[in-house]
Amino acid sequence: MKKRAFLFILALTALSVLIWFIGEVLIAIFINNYWVSLVWAIFCLVACCTYSVWKCPHAPDEDEDEEKK
């Protein structure tokens, strides 16, 4: 795994945990409902995974490198 991909994963994880935690605190203060909290957690997980797959820096395939030579 390249350093760039590793840093991307760490930054995305830290940001998503921060966003999830702030959302949980706001839900606890204003709404205080288990189901809203559960939906928020699922939404955060799906959004993080979707963004990770969409924007993660990928290593070029070895087959493409061989074809270019």
| pLDDT at res. 63 | 47
pLDDT tens across 2-54, in order?
888 888 889 999 999 999 999 999 999 999 999 999 999 999 999 999 998 88
Computed over every residue of the chain, the mean pLDDT equals 85
- Residues 31 and 35: their CA atoms lie apart, in Å, by 10
Q: What is the pLDDT of residue 6?
A: 85
Alpha-carbon distances, residue 47 vs 18, 26, 39, 44 (angstroms): 14, 19, 12, 5
What span, in angstroms and rounded, lies between the C-alpha atoms of 47 and 49? Answer: 6
- pTM strictly above 0.85: no
